[in-house]
Amino acid sequence: MSGHQYLQNGNSLFCDDDVDDDTFLKNSRVNNSSSKQDEYLEQRQMYEQKRKEIESRTLNSSQRSIGLLRETEQVGIATATELAKQREQLEKTRDQLDTINTSLKFSQRHLNGIKSMFGGLKNYLSGKSDLEPSKTSPSSSNSSSIASPQLSADERYSSHPTTRLRNDPIQQQQQIPGNVNFNKQLDRNLDEMCDSLSRLKGLAIDLNGEIESQNDLIDEIGDKVENVDAKINKQNREMFKILGKK
């Protein structure tokens, strides 16, 4: 009687702790699947974060490049403006040399007249005769300068080919919104960089042409200076000869 009860109690204990095989395998598969899914989500988040960092660095780099290109354009435009002002000064110098050259021609005529009148009287010159040529020379110079019309500074500057660069659309460019798609924003940045490089190329060509033109103008001024200097020295020697000086 007591042995029968012992067997019943033993079976009851084993039945309470026993787990079905299918249930055990099912729970194991669920745990493994959940672990793999968590790992996949973690990797996906990591890759997404890296992608965002790369995109951010790429956009920042393109924005810095745009900023540098804009600064370069501003420097180029400022250089073109200074070259335009320099051309104005060079042309003014050239015109003044032309006026001086014209005045020297009139002075030479007066010297020739003096030499013909007083060729035999080297040691005697009338003070009045000496002052008359000096009075007539400035009037000739003034008439020469009046006869040649001069453009105003504004007209010269506005008509210069490089002044069109003042209307360059750099300041009118719109800022790219920060909430646009990465690809669209990057495309816009690249397009703006291409446009800026194209403008810089045209600016460089214009500056090079302007510099070469001004170099020719400087050479022309140099020749005129030498011509004027030679005429002045010649007239001084002739004047000293008339006055009997060595």
Q: What is the largest CA-CA distance in the chain?
A: 178
Q: Tell me: the pLDDT tens digits for 2-19?
A: 444 444 444 444 444 455
> In the predicted model, is pLDDT for residue 118 greater than 90?
no
> In the predicted model, is pLDDT for residue 137 greater than 60?
no
> In the predicted model, is pLDDT for residue 244 greater than 60?
yes
Q: Are 198 and 170 in contact (CB under 8 A)?
A: no
Distance of CA 176 to CAs 51, 119, 148, 189, Å?
Answer: 21, 85, 54, 8
Distance between CA atoms of residues 224 and 218, nearest Å: 10
In this prediction, residue 112 carries a pLDDT of 83
| Cβ neighbours of residue 195 closer than 8 Å, sequence gap 6 or more | none
Distance of CA 235 to CAs 34, 139, 244, Å?
Answer: 109, 18, 14
Residues in the chain: 246
In this prediction, residue 180 carries a pLDDT of 52
In this prediction, residue 122 carries a pLDDT of 53
116 or 126: whose pLDDT is higher?
116
Per mean pLDDT, which range of 40-44, 70-74, 179-183, 230-234 is the poorest? 179-183
Of 71, 62, 97, nearest to 184 (Cα)? 62
Pairs from 117-124 (Cβ < 8 Å, separation ≥ 24): 118/242, 122/242, 122/244, 123/244
The band of 81, judged by pLDDT with boundaries at 50, 70 and 90, is very high
The band of 109, judged by pLDDT with boundaries at 50, 70 and 90, is confident
The band of 43, judged by pLDDT with boundaries at 50, 70 and 90, is confident
Mean pLDDT (the chain) is 74
> In the predicted model, is pLDDT for residue 246 greater than 70?
no
- Token pair 């029968």: residue: 4
Amino acid, single-letter form, for residue 129? S
Q: Are 112 and 239 in contact (CB under 8 A)?
A: no
In this prediction, residue 39 carries a pLDDT of 81
Q: Tell me: the pLDDT tens digits for 185-206?
A: 889 989 999 999 999 999 999 9
What does the pLDDT average to over 82-91? 94
Percent pLDDT > 70 in the chain is 60
What does the pLDDT average to over 129-147? 45
What does the pLDDT average to over 205-225? 94
> In the predicted model, is pLDDT for residue 167 greater than 80?
no
Distance between CA atoms of residues 235 and 32, nearest Å: 112
In this prediction, residue 29 carries a pLDDT of 58
Distance between CA atoms of residues 95 and 153, nearest Å: 14
What does the pLDDT average to over 143-156? 47
In this prediction, residue 26 carries a pLDDT of 58
The continuous run of DSSP H or E covering 21 comes out as: helix 21-117
Of 135, 132, 130, 107, nearest to 231 (Cα)? 107
Per mean pLDDT, which range of 35-39, 67-71, 179-183, 225-229 is the poorest? 179-183
What does the pLDDT average to over 58-63? 90
